[in-house]
Amino acid sequence: MLLKDKVALITGSASGIGKEIAFEYARQGAKVVIADLALEAASATANDIIKAGGTAMGVAMDVTNEAQVEKGVADAVKAFGGMDILISNAGIQIISPVVDLTLDNWKKMLAIHMDGAFLTTRACMRAMIAGGKGGSVIYMGSVHSHEASPFKAPYVAAKHGLLGLAKVVAKEGAKNQIRSNVICPGFVRTPLVDKQIPEQAKEFGISEEDVIKKVMLKDTVDGEFTTTQDVAQTAVFLAAFPTNALTGQSIIVSHGWSMQ
Protein backbone atom coordinates (compact mmCIF):
# COMPACT_ATOMS: atom_id res chain seq x y z
CA MET A 1 0.00 0.00 0.00
CA LEU A 2 1.74 3.13 -1.24
CA LEU A 3 -0.60 5.68 0.36
CA LYS A 4 -1.43 4.04 3.71
CA ASP A 5 -3.46 6.40 5.95
CA LYS A 6 -2.83 9.44 3.73
CA VAL A 7 -5.82 11.78 3.55
CA ALA A 8 -6.58 12.69 -0.07
CA LEU A 9 -9.19 15.19 -1.25
CA ILE A 10 -10.14 14.73 -4.91
CA THR A 11 -12.40 17.25 -6.61
CA GLY A 12 -14.81 16.13 -9.33
CA SER A 13 -14.41 12.56 -8.12
CA ALA A 14 -18.01 11.37 -8.51
CA SER A 15 -17.24 10.68 -12.21
CA GLY A 16 -14.57 9.77 -14.74
CA ILE A 17 -10.89 10.27 -13.98
CA GLY A 18 -11.39 11.56 -10.43
CA LYS A 19 -13.55 8.57 -9.51
CA GLU A 20 -10.94 6.10 -10.77
CA ILE A 21 -8.21 7.91 -8.81
CA ALA A 22 -10.42 7.75 -5.70
CA PHE A 23 -10.85 3.97 -6.01
CA GLU A 24 -7.14 3.43 -6.72
CA TYR A 25 -6.10 5.66 -3.80
CA ALA A 26 -8.43 3.72 -1.50
CA ARG A 27 -6.86 0.44 -2.69
CA GLN A 28 -3.48 1.99 -1.83
CA GLY A 29 -4.68 2.65 1.74
CA ALA A 30 -5.61 6.35 1.50
CA LYS A 31 -8.59 7.91 3.27
CA VAL A 32 -10.40 9.48 0.36
CA VAL A 33 -12.58 12.59 0.32
CA ILE A 34 -14.96 12.62 -2.66
CA ALA A 35 -15.65 16.30 -3.37
CA ASP A 36 -18.23 17.00 -6.07
CA LEU A 37 -21.12 19.34 -6.89
CA ALA A 38 -23.93 17.14 -5.52
CA LEU A 39 -23.69 15.53 -2.09
CA GLU A 40 -25.77 12.55 -3.29
CA ALA A 41 -23.30 11.68 -6.05
CA ALA A 42 -20.26 12.27 -3.81
CA SER A 43 -21.72 10.14 -1.02
CA ALA A 44 -22.73 7.37 -3.44
CA THR A 45 -19.14 7.13 -4.70
CA ALA A 46 -17.81 7.20 -1.12
CA ASN A 47 -20.23 4.40 -0.16
CA ASP A 48 -19.08 2.26 -3.11
CA ILE A 49 -15.47 2.69 -1.93
CA ILE A 50 -16.45 1.75 1.63
CA LYS A 51 -18.31 -1.34 0.33
CA ALA A 52 -15.14 -2.33 -1.51
CA GLY A 53 -13.21 -2.17 1.79
CA GLY A 54 -11.81 1.37 1.61
CA THR A 55 -12.17 4.49 3.73
CA ALA A 56 -14.02 7.43 2.18
CA MET A 57 -16.44 10.30 2.76
CA GLY A 58 -18.41 12.52 0.41
CA VAL A 59 -18.58 16.32 0.60
CA ALA A 60 -20.64 18.77 -1.44
CA MET A 61 -18.22 21.20 -3.05
CA ASP A 62 -18.60 23.55 -5.97
CA VAL A 63 -14.91 24.39 -6.42
CA THR A 64 -15.79 27.93 -7.54
CA ASN A 65 -17.55 28.62 -4.22
CA GLU A 66 -15.10 29.85 -1.57
CA ALA A 67 -17.35 29.00 1.40
CA GLN A 68 -18.06 25.45 0.13
CA VAL A 69 -14.36 24.80 -0.49
CA GLU A 70 -13.41 26.03 2.99
CA LYS A 71 -16.18 23.97 4.61
CA GLY A 72 -15.43 20.81 2.61
CA VAL A 73 -11.72 20.91 3.48
CA ALA A 74 -12.46 21.70 7.16
CA ASP A 75 -14.97 18.80 7.37
CA ALA A 76 -12.44 16.44 5.80
CA VAL A 77 -9.66 17.50 8.19
CA LYS A 78 -12.02 17.06 11.14
CA ALA A 79 -13.20 13.61 10.01
CA PHE A 80 -9.86 12.16 8.90
CA GLY A 81 -7.38 14.12 11.09
CA GLY A 82 -5.42 16.10 8.48
CA MET A 83 -4.79 16.69 4.79
CA ASP A 84 -1.94 15.07 2.83
CA ILE A 85 -2.93 15.09 -0.85
CA LEU A 86 -5.05 17.40 -3.00
CA ILE A 87 -6.07 16.36 -6.49
CA SER A 88 -7.57 19.39 -8.18
CA ASN A 89 -9.46 17.55 -10.90
CA ALA A 90 -12.97 19.01 -11.33
CA GLY A 91 -13.49 20.25 -14.85
CA ILE A 92 -15.80 20.78 -17.80
CA GLN A 93 -15.40 21.32 -21.54
CA ILE A 94 -17.06 23.90 -23.79
CA ILE A 95 -16.64 23.58 -27.56
CA SER A 96 -16.87 26.86 -29.49
CA PRO A 97 -14.86 28.93 -31.94
CA VAL A 98 -13.43 32.09 -30.31
CA VAL A 99 -15.60 34.29 -32.51
CA ASP A 100 -18.79 32.64 -31.17
CA LEU A 101 -17.69 32.23 -27.55
CA THR A 102 -19.72 34.14 -24.95
CA LEU A 103 -18.02 35.99 -22.12
CA ASP A 104 -20.15 33.96 -19.70
CA ASN A 105 -18.78 30.67 -21.05
CA TRP A 106 -15.21 32.03 -20.98
CA LYS A 107 -15.65 33.04 -17.32
CA LYS A 108 -17.39 29.77 -16.39
CA MET A 109 -14.47 27.73 -17.71
CA LEU A 110 -11.82 29.85 -16.01
CA ALA A 111 -13.79 29.81 -12.74
CA ILE A 112 -13.98 26.02 -12.56
CA HIS A 113 -10.46 25.27 -13.74
CA MET A 114 -8.51 28.22 -12.32
CA ASP A 115 -10.51 29.67 -9.40
CA GLY A 116 -11.27 26.10 -8.31
CA ALA A 117 -7.59 25.15 -8.41
CA PHE A 118 -6.64 28.26 -6.43
CA LEU A 119 -9.35 27.93 -3.76
CA THR A 120 -8.74 24.22 -3.11
CA THR A 121 -4.95 24.73 -3.14
CA ARG A 122 -5.15 27.55 -0.60
CA ALA A 123 -7.41 25.62 1.77
CA CYS A 124 -5.44 22.37 1.50
CA MET A 125 -2.01 24.05 1.75
CA ARG A 126 -3.12 25.76 4.95
CA ALA A 127 -4.22 22.39 6.35
CA MET A 128 -0.98 20.71 5.23
CA ILE A 129 1.13 23.43 6.85
CA ALA A 130 -0.91 23.17 10.06
CA GLY A 131 -0.39 19.39 10.05
CA GLY A 132 3.39 19.82 9.74
CA LYS A 133 3.85 16.66 7.62
CA GLY A 134 4.12 18.19 4.16
CA GLY A 135 1.89 17.13 1.31
CA SER A 136 1.35 16.66 -2.40
CA VAL A 137 -0.75 18.89 -4.65
CA ILE A 138 -1.66 17.41 -8.03
CA TYR A 139 -3.48 19.35 -10.75
CA MET A 140 -5.39 17.62 -13.55
CA GLY A 141 -3.94 19.41 -16.53
CA SER A 142 -4.20 18.00 -20.04
CA VAL A 143 -2.20 17.62 -23.21
CA HIS A 144 -3.92 20.98 -23.68
CA SER A 145 -1.59 22.34 -20.96
CA HIS A 146 1.09 22.09 -23.69
CA GLU A 147 -0.72 21.98 -27.04
CA ALA A 148 -3.69 23.78 -28.59
CA SER A 149 -6.75 22.58 -30.50
CA PRO A 150 -9.37 24.64 -32.30
CA PHE A 151 -12.67 25.42 -30.51
CA LYS A 152 -11.18 25.03 -27.00
CA ALA A 153 -9.81 28.50 -26.22
CA PRO A 154 -10.80 28.84 -22.54
CA TYR A 155 -9.93 25.19 -21.79
CA VAL A 156 -6.48 25.48 -23.37
CA ALA A 157 -5.88 28.82 -21.62
CA ALA A 158 -6.93 27.41 -18.24
CA LYS A 159 -4.94 24.18 -18.62
CA HIS A 160 -1.82 26.18 -19.57
CA GLY A 161 -2.51 28.36 -16.51
CA LEU A 162 -2.35 25.35 -14.18
CA LEU A 163 1.32 24.85 -15.12
CA GLY A 164 2.09 28.33 -13.79
CA LEU A 165 0.12 27.81 -10.59
CA ALA A 166 1.82 24.44 -9.98
CA LYS A 167 5.28 25.98 -10.36
CA VAL A 168 4.53 28.75 -7.86
CA VAL A 169 3.05 26.26 -5.37
CA ALA A 170 6.19 24.11 -5.79
CA LYS A 171 8.39 27.09 -4.88
CA GLU A 172 6.24 28.35 -2.01
CA GLY A 173 5.46 24.88 -0.66
CA ALA A 174 9.02 23.55 -0.54
CA LYS A 175 9.85 24.90 2.91
CA ASN A 176 6.87 22.93 4.28
CA GLN A 177 7.65 19.80 2.24
CA ILE A 178 4.67 20.42 -0.03
CA ARG A 179 5.22 19.26 -3.62
CA SER A 180 3.13 20.30 -6.60
CA ASN A 181 2.81 18.64 -10.02
CA VAL A 182 0.49 18.46 -13.02
CA ILE A 183 -0.81 15.33 -14.78
CA CYS A 184 -1.51 15.93 -18.47
CA PRO A 185 -3.68 13.17 -19.95
CA GLY A 186 -4.54 12.68 -23.60
CA PHE A 187 -8.16 11.81 -24.50
CA VAL A 188 -9.84 9.53 -21.94
CA ARG A 189 -13.33 8.08 -22.58
CA THR A 190 -15.32 9.78 -19.80
CA PRO A 191 -18.65 11.68 -19.90
CA LEU A 192 -16.62 14.85 -20.58
CA VAL A 193 -15.23 13.37 -23.81
CA ASP A 194 -18.39 11.50 -24.86
CA LYS A 195 -20.28 14.81 -24.78
CA GLN A 196 -17.80 16.63 -27.02
CA ILE A 197 -17.58 14.00 -29.80
CA PRO A 198 -20.88 15.10 -31.46
CA GLU A 199 -20.07 18.76 -30.67
CA GLN A 200 -16.70 18.52 -32.41
CA ALA A 201 -18.29 16.62 -35.33
CA LYS A 202 -20.61 19.58 -35.83
CA GLU A 203 -17.87 22.25 -35.61
CA PHE A 204 -15.46 20.36 -37.91
CA GLY A 205 -18.24 19.17 -40.27
CA ILE A 206 -17.07 15.53 -40.06
CA SER A 207 -18.48 12.24 -38.68
CA GLU A 208 -18.18 11.24 -35.02
CA GLU A 209 -15.97 8.31 -36.05
CA ASP A 210 -13.62 10.75 -37.78
CA VAL A 211 -13.54 12.98 -34.67
CA ILE A 212 -12.11 10.00 -32.78
CA LYS A 213 -9.69 8.83 -35.49
CA LYS A 214 -8.69 12.07 -37.21
CA VAL A 215 -8.91 14.58 -34.36
CA MET A 216 -8.64 12.95 -30.94
CA LEU A 217 -6.23 10.08 -31.57
CA LYS A 218 -4.55 11.29 -34.78
CA ASP A 219 -1.18 12.12 -33.20
CA THR A 220 -0.93 9.23 -30.74
CA VAL A 221 1.69 6.55 -31.45
CA ASP A 222 -0.88 3.73 -31.52
CA GLY A 223 -4.38 5.18 -32.01
CA GLU A 224 -5.35 4.33 -28.43
CA PHE A 225 -7.29 6.28 -25.83
CA THR A 226 -5.56 6.91 -22.49
CA THR A 227 -7.51 5.18 -19.70
CA THR A 228 -8.70 6.39 -16.31
CA GLN A 229 -6.46 3.70 -14.79
CA ASP A 230 -3.39 5.09 -16.65
CA VAL A 231 -4.08 8.45 -15.04
CA ALA A 232 -4.80 6.93 -11.61
CA GLN A 233 -1.46 5.07 -11.63
CA THR A 234 0.32 8.33 -12.43
CA ALA A 235 -1.50 10.02 -9.56
CA VAL A 236 -0.36 7.26 -7.16
CA PHE A 237 3.24 7.59 -8.38
CA LEU A 238 3.26 11.37 -7.89
CA ALA A 239 1.64 11.31 -4.45
CA ALA A 240 3.85 8.48 -3.17
CA PHE A 241 7.11 10.02 -4.43
CA PRO A 242 9.25 10.46 -1.32
CA THR A 243 11.27 13.66 -1.87
CA ASN A 244 11.12 17.22 -3.18
CA ALA A 245 13.09 16.12 -6.27
CA LEU A 246 9.85 15.71 -8.20
CA THR A 247 8.08 19.04 -7.91
CA GLY A 248 6.96 21.80 -10.27
CA GLN A 249 6.69 19.26 -13.12
CA SER A 250 4.07 18.09 -15.56
CA ILE A 251 3.79 14.47 -16.69
CA ILE A 252 2.10 13.82 -20.04
CA VAL A 253 0.16 10.54 -20.22
CA SER A 254 -1.14 10.50 -23.78
CA HIS A 255 0.12 7.56 -25.89
CA GLY A 256 2.72 9.92 -27.30
CA TRP A 257 0.25 12.50 -28.62
CA SER A 258 2.44 15.17 -27.06
CA MET A 259 6.14 14.68 -26.40
CA GLN A 260 7.81 17.53 -24.50
In the bound state with ligand NAD, the residue whose beta carbon lies nearer, of 111 and 174, is 111
Query: Minimum distance between the CB of residue 185 and ligand NAD, rounded to whole angstroms?
Result: 4
Please, are residues 86 and 135 in contact by the beta-carbon 8 Å criterion?
Answer: yes
Closest CA to 4 of 84, 107, 92, 89: 84
Helix (H, G, I), strand (E, B) or coil at 161: helix
- 25 is a catalytic site residue: no
| Residue 192 neighbours by CB distance under 10 Å | 16
Query: Minimum distance between the CB of residue 170 and ligand NAD, rounded to whole angstroms?
Result: 20
In the bound state with ligand NAD, the residue whose beta carbon lies nearer, of 15 and 181, is 15
Residues lying near ligand NAD in the complex (CB under 6 A): 11-12, 14-18, 36-37, 61-64, 89-92, 112, 116, 140, 142, 185, 187-188, 190-193
Query: Minimum distance between the CB of residue 174 and ligand NAD, rounded to whole angstroms?
Result: 25
Query: Minimum distance between the CB of residue 109 and ligand NAD, rounded to whole angstroms?
Result: 10
In the bound state with ligand NAD, the residue whose beta carbon lies nearer, of 179 and 255, is 255
Catalytic-role residue among 155, 187, 225, 257? 155
Helices (H) and strands (E) in the chain, counts: 9, 7
In the bound state with ligand NAD, the residue whose beta carbon lies nearer, of 1 and 102, is 102
CA distances from 132 to 36, 47, 84, 178, 210 (A): 27, 30, 10, 10, 51
- Burial of 205: CB neighbours in 10 Å, binned 0-12, 13-18, 19+: exposed
Which of the residues are catalytic?
Answer: 155
